[in-house]
Amino acid sequence: MGVTPAIRVQEAPFDLAAETAALSAGRVDVGGIASFVGLCRADDGLQALVLEHYPGMTERSIARIAGQACERWPLTGCTVIHRHGRILPGEGIVLVLAASRHRVAALEACAFLIDWLKTGAPFWKREEFAGGAERWVESRHEDEARSREWG
């Protein structure tokens, strides 16, 4: 049975508990669900993150990589939700869920997906600080290296 990943790119916050429950609702073959929630930190007095993305390409590229995860690991379900727009400290930015019969597939697929989202999805973060200062977040070489390690 092929698994169809659930991909959403949205401004609204997401509900970790509800999304997790949806991956095992009405079924008894799911042995584990791995999750990653990326949160907005208030480093250096940050007041908000503003995420811009490339509508169309964003959804396509996430769907493509989530499809690869479903081929590479025996998943029973997979959810990726990435927010855009203005995000406040403490709020969630991105949610990755990977469900499988066994933990290794779920944990590895989850790590693969978030590593890839850092380097392969067309999002750009702008930081806003008190007093009106702002700056674009620069990409990190460590993220590129981690993403490449998955092959």
**Residues of this chain that bind another protein (CB under 8 A):** 38, 51-54, 56-57, 60-61, 82, 93-94, 114, 117-126, 136-139, 143
Q: Of the two residues 71 and 134, which places its CB atom closer to another protein in the complex?
A: 134
- Nearest partner of 126 among 100, 96, 93, judged by Cα: 93
CB of 128 to another protein, least distance (A): 14
DSSP three-state, residue 9: strand
Query: What's 80's DSSP letter?
Result: E
Q: Of the two residues 6 and 30, which places its CB atom closer to another protein in the complex?
A: 6
Pairwise CA distance, residues 113 & 135, whole Å? 26
Q: Of the two residues 24 and 47, which places its CB atom closer to another protein in the complex?
A: 47
CB of 123 to another protein, least distance (A): 3
Pairwise CA distance, residues 16 & 38, whole Å? 11
Encoded amino acid at 89, one letter: P
User: What is the side-by-side order of every strand in the sheet holding 134-136?
Assistant: 85-87, 46-53, 123-129, 134-136
Q: Of the two residues 53 and 72, which places its CB atom closer to another protein in the complex?
A: 53
CB of 100 to another protein, least distance (A): 22
CB of 25 to another protein, least distance (A): 27
